[in-house]
Amino acid sequence: MKESRQSLLAVICTLAVSLVFCLVFGQMTKPKIAKPAEGALFAAGTYEAESPGYTGASNPIKVKVTVSDNKIENIEYTIDGETPTVGGMAVPALAEKVLAVQSPNIEVVTYATVSSKGFLTAVSDALRQAGADPEALVPQQVETAAEDVEKTADIVVAGAGGAGMTAAITAAQNGKKVIILEKGLFPGGNSSYAAGGMNAAETHYQAEAGIEDSVELFYEDTMKGGHDINDPELVRTLAENSSAAIDWLDSIDAPLSDVGLAGGASVYRQHRPVNAKGDILPVGTFLVEHLSKTCEDLGIEIVYSAKVDEVLMDNGKAVGLHATDSDGNNITVHADAVIIATGGFGSNPDLIVKYRPDLKGYVSTNAPTITGDAIAFLEAVGADFRDLEQIQIHPTVVQTDGSLISESLRGDGAILLNKNGVRFTNENGTRDVVSAAVNEQPDRYAWLVTDEKVAAKSELIKKYVSKGYMIKCDTVADLAKLIGVEEAVVQETLDKWHTACETGEDAEFGRANPDKNKTYVAELPLYAVQISPGIHHCMGGVKINTNAEVIDTKGNVIPGLYAAGEVTGGVHGGNRLGGNAVTDFVVFGRIAGENASAYSK
């Protein structure tokens, strides 16, 4: 009995010491709140704070905010964990805005919501340390008088996404003065969201890896994937110029050296970037960073927050663009040639429903600025369109925010399990087929599952885990619990897949040549994410020919007017193959830049 009382006393003492330690340590680590002088908003000084950004708490956004008695004087920030072309450009714009309106209570940048919230939270925390109530700081009105801005260039480009920057760089390399008008606050558009890679045939990277491929096979795969409603001449142009496009990316120090497999492809032809450790990187942010740097190196002017609304015409020829910015300024650029590269309309619910009423309510993977502005201003100059009803849904999308889970994971061996814990389709089928298969499952969702062998080499998976999309499962039992089924069911599914990989034959669903040398979802831990289909790509758009010239409703070329990328129709037909969007914007971006340069002479 005495020993029990002693043990109880020891426990109480330990708890008391722990409580005192926590209270003292908490007081030591809790930021001190300064007291402003009477009548002042802040206690003058410099205050530091941090908050999780895009990569989470492991690499937070850090700020140093300097204030005087009644003014936010300066904001310094460290944003090492943010994507350079997204959060890396959003945070400076936000800092400038906070200083202008003297408040952190401003709208986030829609392209960079997570980075924006992290930065503004950190600034608010710093101001709180200065003795202010951040929520009570009402943004001040900044009066700006609208003005007309006139510029002149050899070539003007609408859109600073992959196609627009590729076209601009090509023209600048030909000695042309180029101006780009970009609707957003930074470059990239939908191109920044591309996660997989770029399809190309007969490349030196394929040859080095011992992969046999041909332009003809690339052409056939693309036509078949698009249900043969593609424009054959555009598809052949895409395939024939794909290898040279890879070489061109090499020339601007943007090599896509790893070769993987994408849905609908007969062979490994999806080219992907890797870092110094050999880890596979998301292709979109990689290319946008290199393209935007090359634009800067070549002196290409990019005007941001400039929404194009009119193609200027003179005697039937395109001679410039008109745009308005967020301050109401009119921007007019006069040029010899015009290139349209504004993307599709995946973030415009009204246009989605107009052309495809059955897609009402679907979440979209698109950048917020991709709203189909070009349809109206190209119609106004007599341009023709095709396949606008051909809107692709992607099978693996996180429904909470429209984040895309890359098809490249399935190309590397990932499988799909329904809510019952079993496979239900060939995961490397075309996107329309796999999407339909997911929609046929109970509750219209599935789990994408991969393993440590892939995760260890994938920056994408690391990102998905850090953002909470993909769940790490240390055991098969953990995976089964996540899905909500018995462990034996999931183990049986995995065993069947392992057998398919060992034999090279998927008896259940005919997945071509499953490759155990890549992965066969066996190396623990496993990783899983719940997905459903979402709106992803607009295959239809303005009509172009193989010179990237825009065609009018009478079948004639509109002189001086070119287009490239997702704004165009005909390349992808009724279904785009994964990896072909990047090929499209590089190949036809280069063609548009070359031909616009020749025309401007």
**For residue range 475-523, what is the model confidence (pLDDT) as tens digits?**
999 999 999 999 999 999 999 999 998 888 899 999 876 765 667 888 9
User: By the 8 A CB rule, do 154 and 171 touch?
Assistant: yes
User: In the predicted model, is pLDDT for residue 1 greater than 60?
Assistant: no
- 431 catalytic per annotation: yes
110 and 154 within one domain = no
Residue 287 counted as domain residue: yes
Domain end position, chosen among 85, 106, 136: 136
The structure tokens 């496979």 sit at 423
User: In the predicted model, is pLDDT for residue 6 greater than 70?
Assistant: no
176 and 312 within one domain = yes
Buried b or exposed e, range 26-50, using 16+ CB within 10 angstroms: eeeeeeeebebeeebbbbbeebebb
**pTM of the entire structure?**
0.86
Residue 89 counted as domain residue: yes
101 and 83 within one domain = yes
Distance CA 533, CA 445 (A): 8
Residue 22 counted as domain residue: no
Domain end position, chosen among 502, 534, 566: 534
Among candidate residues 423, 431, 576, 590, the one labeled active-site is 431
385 and 266 within one domain = yes
User: In the predicted model, is pLDDT for residue 21 greater than 70?
Assistant: no
430 and 342 within one domain = no
**For residue range 256-291, what is the model confidence (pLDDT) as tens digits?**
999 998 889 999 999 999 999 999 999 999 999 999
The count of domains in the chain is: 3
**For residue range 518-560, what is the model confidence (pLDDT) as tens digits?**
678 889 999 999 999 999 999 999 999 999 999 999 999 999 9
437 and 490 within one domain = yes
Q: Parallel, antiparallel, or unpaired: how do β-strands 270-272 and 258-260 relate?
A: antiparallel
339 and 241 within one domain = yes
Beta strands in 224-353 (DSSP E): 258-260, 270-272, 301-303, 306-314, 317-325, 330-340
Residue 13 counted as domain residue: no
Structural domain for 454, as ranges: 393-534
Joined together, the tokens standing for residue 459 give 């920056």
- Taking the CB of residue 556, how many other CB atoms lie within 10 A of it? 12
CA distances from 323 to 153, 209, 328, 498, 592 (A): 15, 47, 10, 56, 21
515 and 573 within one domain = no
Q: Write the CATH number for 63.
A: 3.90.1010.20
Residue 11 counted as domain residue: no
**Three-state secondary structure of 130-166:** CCCCHHHCCCCCCCCCCCEEEEEEEEEEECCEHHHHH
Distance CA 541, CA 37 (A): 61
Q: Write the CATH number for 351.
A: 3.50.50.60
298 and 361 within one domain = yes
Query: Which pLDDT band, with edges at 50, 70 and 90, does 145 fall under?
Result: low
303 and 156 within one domain = yes
Q: Write the CATH number for 493.
A: 3.90.700.10
418 and 304 within one domain = no
User: In the predicted model, is pLDDT for residue 9 greater than 70?
Assistant: no
Residue 7 counted as domain residue: no
Distance CA 459, CA 476 (A): 23
Residue 12 counted as domain residue: no
Residue 451 counted as domain residue: yes
Domain end position, chosen among 116, 136, 156: 136
